[in-house]
Amino acid sequence: MLRQFAALSALAAVCAMAAPAHAQLSELRVGWAAHDVYNGTEDGSQIIVEALFESPDFLSWAFSPRPYVMGSFNTAGLTNMGAAGLAWEAGLTERFSVEGSWGISYNDGVKEFAHLPPDDPERLRLASTRAALGSRTLFHLRVGADYALPEQWRLGVFYEHYSHGQILASGRNQALDEVGVRLGYRFGR
């Protein structure tokens, strides 16, 4: 079961990365997020840039998710991330919609520091300032809500979670949780 989940995640990421070559740009977003809100170990906030693409025909069997690619950059010089995946959207009213997305991310954060002796100053510094993510590759899960403004603009809020879930790696898995706001511009509608 876990291997199947990892394989499906890899397939989602491949579809998301391959789709931009065949799909039209659907939306551009820029956002700000409070970083590491659950553990509170890492400082700074995240500046997020994201591109979403029209759903390609070959994804119609999966309720036509939009492929996305995004970058998330830490203002304190700590963990930066890039992700690719699929985003599903459901309109609740003419202007209000919700979204769920799932993908694979890559980070430049700290994987582990258990290899250092318990009283090592570097280990103590890392343990108090950095999340031990356990892997460079993590799942990227996000839920959000958007409100359509005039002239194709959208304003939204979101929560996202980065974790390997003991599927992509084993051992430490502090994960990262973020809560933020975003502004998007939708093309073509």
Contact criterion met (CB below 8 Å) for 94 and 65 = no
- pLDDT tens, residue by residue, 128-187: 888 889 899 999 999 999 999 988 999 999 999 999 888 877 777 889 999 999 999 999
Per-residue pLDDT, 65: 98
* Domain ranges, ordered by start, for the chain: 2-186
Between CA 134 and CA 111 the distance in angstroms is 4
Mean confidence (pLDDT) of the chain: 87
Judged by DSSP in three states, 99 sits in strand
The CATH code of domain 2-186 reads: 2.40.160.20
Q: For the whole model, what pTM was predicted? A: 0.84
**Distances 6 to 3, 130, 134, 169 between C-alpha atoms, Å:** 5, 26, 16, 10
> Minimal CA–CA distance to 65: which of 84, 83, 88, 85?
88
Lowest mean pLDDT across 22-31, 88-97, 161-170, 172-181: 161-170
Cα of 162 vs its chain's centroid, Å: 7
